[in-house]
Structure 1
Amino acid sequence: MGAGGSRARQNAMRSGVVVLGAVAFGYLSFRVGFKPYLDQAQEAMDSARDPDPTAAAAAAAARDASDDPGAAGGDLAPSKDPAVVLRD
């Protein structure tokens, strides 16, 4: 009876290794096959999360240069016009 139990354990371990190998192969196939799409998605997420640092620095410099809020470059009310939103 001891030999039968050992054989069952070996078969179970072999099956587990095969399943893990299949999952790893599937994951790598997915990553390689969809790499261009995953890269585009990552770039889109990064650009949405991290605005253009040069534009932010220029806006901060213009805001700091003006002590008068009514002067040019001061704080203005946000525009609801889609063309202005897309331009900025």
Structure 2
Amino acid sequence: MRGALGGGGSRARQNAVRSGLVVLGAVAFGYLSFRVGFKPYLDRAQEAMDARASPASDARPPDHAGGEGDEDDVAASKDPAVVLRD
């Protein structure tokens, strides 16, 4: 009788491991589908966060006198806040 219970316990463990692997695979597939499906939106959001985090990258060097060509710099900027600020 003891051998029958041991065999059933092993089978239950195999089923549990198999179910766990299926769940992990489904979660990984869902995550990758989300990343691929929303990639354009995630890229735009990342660019927006990077633009907010480093406003110094748009700043001019301190020795810049502000001569000709300043209008071109403002028009070439991608960030609308820079245009409004200047």
Aligned match for 1:46, one of 44, 50, 53: 50
Normalization by structure 2: what TM-score? 0.67
Normalization by structure 1: what TM-score? 0.65
Computed over aligned residues only, the root mean square deviation of the Cα atoms, in angstroms, reads: 2.1
Aligned match for 1:61, one of 53, 63, 73: 63
> Which structure 2 residues correspond to residues 2-81 of structure 1 after superposition, within 5 A?
2-53=6-57, 55-57=59-61, 60-61=62-63
Q: How many residues align?
A: 65
Deviation above 2 Å: which 4+ runs of structure 1? 52-56
Q: Which has the higher helix share?
A: 2
Unpaired runs of 5+ residues, structure 1, are: 63-84
1:87 corresponds to which residue? Answer: 85
Alignment-mate amino acid for residue 36 of structure 1: P
